[in-house]
Amino acid sequence: MWALVLAPLAMIMTEAVGMTWAAKTPIRPSFRFAGAGHIAGFGGVMTATQLFWFVQSQADVMIAGRVLDPHELGVYTTGLFLAQLLAAKFVPPINEVAYAAYSRQHAGGNGADLGAEALLATIRLVMLVALPAYAGLAVVAPVLVPVLLGKQWLETVPLLPILSAAMAMMTLQILFAPATNARGMPMAALRNTMIGSVVMTGAYFIGSHFGLTGFAWGWVGGMAVLTAATVRLSGRIIGLRISALGRAVAPPAAAALAMAGGVALVLHLLPPVPDLLALAITVPLGVVLYGAILHRIAPERIAEALHFARNRGEPDAAPAPAEERHLSKAPD
């Protein structure tokens, strides 16, 4: 227990020292709170948001712990761990950078249209990677799990396609909070997490009556409702049109689904081979298929991603597609 307590404390201290050193602005600690009222208020809302996020994201394990036996609970949490790897490790660093960029734009007096365009650029780039990753995970799970975890965890395989669909929605949903926070409206993220804590807990409870797969489908149903609510409520603040969001997500979604179908067919036609060999065949094939299909239906997305990578996200990044430049101030 103490290792779990001390480890994050050590990480926070190391990050504080490292960031201070990197910024080359040593600051002597001060315990005077004069003038910190606004920061404390903003921070209080952010803290409440994290508390409701904890309820939203951990209620499933709390409920599962009461209705599943230890073996089933282990299978569920292991499958959830695999499905959440991308959303838990890939998106949070992007959100930290995005928050700073959005804040700089807002401080510069840019209008709501530009704020929506910046969020759409983030969504296009993140979903360009996330959607094929989740689609690939869903398809190659039968050979991926034995290679990564061993054959004793094969019971997680049926859960992964379901959870992958939920995590694709969650990846999109959590991209909205930095945009509304940067506009000085942390209550928007708090409201969304409050809705999520109720919706997801209810979904988990309903799913608990149907065993392991019930919990997985609870993730899908609850996240669908929460994502729709977030897009509707936060989109109004940011000035994001639902039609523009659809155009941002549709090309990588179509390419990812087509790629998943091709990889599934190859896996079905493969003769019996070791799981590692099957994985070595299907993963590169999936990357090539996805890239080829996306280049066929939306070559500007690949160009935008390459431009972004070359310029490291500087403001001169490639412009948004023409159909996404004109955004109204409220969702459709």
Q: Tens digit of pLDDT for each residue in 267-294? A: 999 888 898 999 999 999 999 999 999 9
Determine the average pLDDT of the residues in 140-164: 92
| Burial degree of 219 (CB within 10 A; 0-12, 13-18, 19+) | buried
Query: What band does 50 get if pLDDT is binned at 50, 70 and 90?
Result: confident
Predicted pLDDT of residue 331: 43
Query: What band does 186 get if pLDDT is binned at 50, 70 and 90?
Result: confident
Percent of the chain clearing pLDDT 70 (strictly above) = 90
Furthest-apart CA pair in the chain: how many Å?
71
Q: Would you list the domain boundaries of the chain?
A: 46-324
Given a cut of 60, whether residue 318 has pLDDT beyond it is no
| Range in 113-117, 126-130, 137-141 the model is least confident about | 113-117
Query: What band does 43 get if pLDDT is binned at 50, 70 and 90?
Result: confident
Give the Cα separation of 158 and 154 in Å (integer). 8
- Tokens 């939920």 belong to 166
Query: What band does 100 get if pLDDT is binned at 50, 70 and 90?
Result: confident
Predicted pLDDT of residue 252: 93
Angle 215-219-224 (CA atoms, 0-180°, nearest 5)? Answer: 150
Q: pLDDT: is 239 or 311 the higher one?
A: 239
Determine the average pLDDT of the residues in 167-181: 90
Predicted pLDDT of residue 28: 77
Given a cut of 70, whether residue 316 has pLDDT beyond it is no
Predicted pLDDT of residue 157: 93
**What are the structure tokens assigned to 119, written together?**
């969020």
Predicted pLDDT of residue 26: 77
Mean pLDDT of the chain, nearest integer: 85
Query: What band does 264 get if pLDDT is binned at 50, 70 and 90?
Result: very high
Query: What band does 112 get if pLDDT is binned at 50, 70 and 90?
Result: low
| Range in 179-183, 200-204, 281-285 the model is least confident about | 179-183
| Range in 213-222, 289-298, 319-328 the model is least confident about | 319-328
**With the C-alpha atoms ordered 82, 287, 129, 203, is the resulting torsion angle positive or negative?**
negative
Characterize 178-215 residue by residue with b for buried, 16 or more Cβ atoms within 10 angstroms of its Cβ, and e for exposed: bbbbbbebbebbbbbbbbbbbbbbebbbebbeeebebb
0.75 exceeded by the pTM?
A: yes
Predicted pLDDT of residue 312: 61
User: How many residues are listed for the chain in this entry?
Assistant: 332
